[in-house]
Structure 1
């Protein structure tokens, strides 16, 4: 998080849209953890209350994730900070959230946050994906990386999945984990979120054995056929190889690719 900035650090047209919803803005603290948002900021309003605002230009290739996040919010059972408003105009798509004080989750071995993240994941596993929200299914999302349609069917399910378990997307506050950035929410089998978390745990210093030990208490994990998880691990390795090859070179995509390959080899 960067130091407090001037109000002029908000683009003027975006600030106008925000103040139409909030009234005068007293101060701005720009945040830098997110990868996709053009604006991510904590705002203190004239009455000294705080809100969080994230937004993208209306022509951004991922602007659809803003609507997805707004639509899914009322179905997250308090796991996500509450969306206060969603406004578009003047070339911007903006979301206002309740502000949650917290720290990003620490995924390193021995962290006290790991159990809190698992508890949130466990709670989410009992949440059905809402039929009123247009969500991609995990078979759809993984179809590029799996040749066998019978394997793809094993990724299907009716559970609401977060799927983006980057530690910056998990806030630890008041002894619990809150999940942010729901733009990639999907519909699928309940074991998939813990499977995706395994890769992030490996990136954070866990061995594959240690990472799987962290997710083993999740009821959907140990109830799932081992060969299904093996297939998913191989698909993830292919997916991250594709991302690392096609995206602009970055350290984190390389690390994710290496972690996914490490996990897939372990599953063999």
Structure 2
């Protein structure tokens, strides 16, 4: 990974304070072991943003990736559990979930992989493009997902745009930061489906392109990368203007609410892309 990649991914830090396995209530640990087997080793994982507990659990049945939050703020994890059957084979399989003694814990198939390198010239970009091409063909789930026009309504209002060009019935991830894009021996996988959203099929490619800009690509180069995907032909110039203006307003608000350096860099990348797209002839 080259130095420009430090603009965002390398400075991402967890929002939640980490809880160790031994600090979980005894009843919670017992409930986890009923599903996962007796735990004989735990590797605490420091990456990830919002979970209070993340670890590899080495048990009598194998290795499981587990993450958890207090039950009173587990809405995102519950969404992830509900959507998991619909996002195969892109996401790791959910094996079990525990909700007891004030903790909500999810146990997933363990993936042996690393965060993707999205910097210019990275070999991981091809795998990301291939995965996004297949992701765009996911079937619309029967369970309720928020729609992009509802999720981004406040940002669109601040940007003074109409989100009708973003609407659709395709299942989207929308949080394609490099730590959610895992490169494994069997291909690129996507983790942390906390915000399953329905919208235009090309939006996940646009969300990835935004991260490419934050990792050192120019807006022109990011769009050139995106144009290799067939789904990108559906992103009309006017739709891209709506997306980039809305995205810039969204990240501006995020960076104001919590001025972490990586969020400020995502804000700057979004603003750069919106400026480029406003001046583009096509």
- TM-score w.r.t. the length of structure 1 is 0.92
> For the aligned residues, what is the CA RMSD?
1.8
Cα distance change, pair 210–150 in 1 and its aligned pair in 2 (3 A):
closer
What's the secondary structure of 2:152's corresponding residue?
A: helix
- 2:29 paired with 1:15: yes
Deviation at 1:11, TM superposition (A): 4.9
Equivalent of 1:251 in 246, 250, 261: 261
- 2:112 paired with 1:93: no
- 2:253 paired with 1:239: no
- 2:93 paired with 1:79: no
Select between 140-149 and 17-26 the one with higher mean Cα deviation: 140-149
Equivalent of 2:64 in 44, 47, 51: 51
Equivalent of 1:130 in 122, 132, 141: 141
4+ runs deviating over 4 angstroms: none
Structure 2: give runs of 5+ residues left out of the alignment.
Answer: 1-19
Select between 140-149 and 51-60 the one with higher mean Cα deviation: 140-149
Structure 1: give runs of 5+ residues left out of the alignment.
Answer: 1-5
Q: CA offsets per residue over residues 159-203 of structure 1, 9 Å max, x none?
A: 110100010001101151100000011011001001111111011
Partners of 1:149 and 1:156 lie apart in 2 by: 16
Aligned length: 259
For the 8 Å contact 1:151–1:228, the answer to whether it is kept is: no
What's the secondary structure of 1:81's corresponding residue?
A: coil
What's the secondary structure of 2:72's corresponding residue?
A: coil
Deviation at 1:28, TM superposition (A): 0.3
- 2:209 paired with 1:198: yes
Partners of 1:104 and 1:195 lie apart in 2 by: 19
Cα distance change, pair 11–31 in 1 and its aligned pair in 2 (3 A):
farther
- 2:79 paired with 1:68: yes
Deviation at 1:8, TM superposition (A): 2.4
Deviation at 1:15, TM superposition (A): 1.6
- 2:278 paired with 1:264: no
For the 8 Å contact 2:36–2:64, the answer to whether it is kept is: no
Partners of 1:207 and 1:149 lie apart in 2 by: 25
